[in-house]
Amino acid sequence: MSAPISSSDKSIKKFTYIGIRSAFEKYESASRDGEFVARIPPKLLNKYLEIIGREVMREEIASLYELEKKLQAVKESSNYSVNDGRQDTQYDVEFSTNTMEKESSIITELQQLGYLKDSGKWLSKKGFLAVGVRLLRDVMKALNSGKTGMHETASIGSGSLVLDSSRRYEMGDDIRLLNVPRSILNAVERISKAKKDLIIPLEILVDDLEEYDTKQEVTMSVVYCIDLSSTMRYSTMYSGMSRIEAAKRALWSLYLLNQKYFSSDSIYIIGFGALASRVSAFDIPYLKTFEPGSDFLHYTNYQAAFRLARRILSKDSSMNRRIVMITDGHPSACFIDSNNEKEKIISQRPYSEFYSPEKRTIEKMKKNFDLELDISSGRTVYLCYRYRQVDQYIGEKTILEAKKCRNAGIEIDTIMISEEDTLLGYVNELEKLVKGRSYYINPSEIDKILLTDYLSRKRIMLSSHN
């Protein structure tokens, strides 16, 4: 803890520093009934977590048995020395001896340390945070520090965050922010200086009153809508990751950034194909694209994402609300809200396809993928995929839904992760009509773009309040 700072020096802000050694800068250890459980050198642990992060985001997630083999290969190729550059040789020798005496699988050790769990979704909450921190660190290193960063307002005045410092009360200010202890002391000091006797109850004058300083809190509520249509599984020409893997990596990093620096903001996540589903942040690594075949969930329905996002944001009190679409293509589906609509489409397009999810499909999505399909926004979907163009009816319905979001005070931006720039035409038209923004990027850059955009939005809004 830092040494106390004199309260008389008004130019110095008070901070309390508590020194905590990072869990990854020392051996992690645990005990169960006095027995050795697990100790892994930090550099090796970092490599393990790197492998785990890569494997958990794949379209076909590895089993724990397959993961064990990959981790064993990393361990065998590492060739760590006993001391590995650290000073605590005795501790390291103890680690080496115990490891030899008590052989166990790497998976078992990581489970005992709390990084993994024995389940289909084998990454624990601790593991999710540990891997996510590494992803965030990698992305932040790649950002240009001159353009992005932590931008906070320095304005003091009427706001929603109450600070420790205080100032003289002014008539008309919110009386709920009175610093009562400081106000009483001011009254005592005034009476003492006048050499009068202190009488209870004290006579407190307006000039004695002090109120807490406040700082304007700028909050954002963002719904990230990630496309789960079948084309999102395509690998990119720029990296070994598929589009869906690149998007998951970016969202994972963004969520950790939000939790670390902007915890008052709200981030919601929606996965969508022909229908949409709200997704827990801890399920980001396990998101899968919809398989074409038995059902038609692999189509792209912007309208489903917009409707669910608008419903989520309608319950959020933030004044700054956004929807960010992350997609690799144009919409190929929309809701049919009445029989008249359906008949109109059939009269113009006799061979049109319509889809309503069966009960077993809804149950399968819930059981196998933990996706609660949103059927309250619409149950019948009109499907029409046209190569490099949008069906006119679907296009109009999508833009109408986007305008409803805009009229509700919700901004819409779209991030296109695709190598085909011909798909950007419709998105540009949509963003022009709702006064939003569209980005066209290669998938390998999505993590940098997403974090840069988020930080820039924070900076813009903070500046507008100054």
pLDDT along the chain (466 residues), means of 10: 38 34 40 52 90 88 87 80 41 39 72 89 92 88 51 35 63 75 85 80 83 68 94 73 89 89 89 95 92 86 97 90 91 93 90 91 88 92 88 94 95 82 78 87 80 77 46
Give the integer Cα–Cα distance in Å for 375 and 357.
Answer: 9
pLDDT at 461: 58
pLDDT of residue 415: 87
Classify residue 416 by burial, with Cβ atoms within 10 Å: 0-12, 13-18, 19+.
buried
Contact predicate 374/326, CB 8 Å: no
Q: Where are the domains of the chain?
A: 31-123, 161-215, 220-465
CATH H-level superfamily of 220-465: von Willebrand factor, type A domain (3.40.50.410)
- Report residue 455 CA to chain centroid gap: 13
**Main-chain dihedrals φ then ψ at residue 165, nearest 5 degrees:** -75, 160
- pLDDT at site 215: 54
* Residue 183: how many other CB atoms lie within 10 Å: 21
What's the whole-model pTM score? 0.72
- Token output for 439: 């980005």
Report pLDDT digits (tens) over 23-57.
Answer: 333 434 444 444 444 578 888 998 999 999 989 98
Q: From CA 290, how far away is CA 300, in angstroms rounded? A: 10
Burial environment of residue 459 by CB neighbours within 10 A (0 to 12, 13 to 18, 19 or more): middle
At residue 466, the pLDDT reads 35
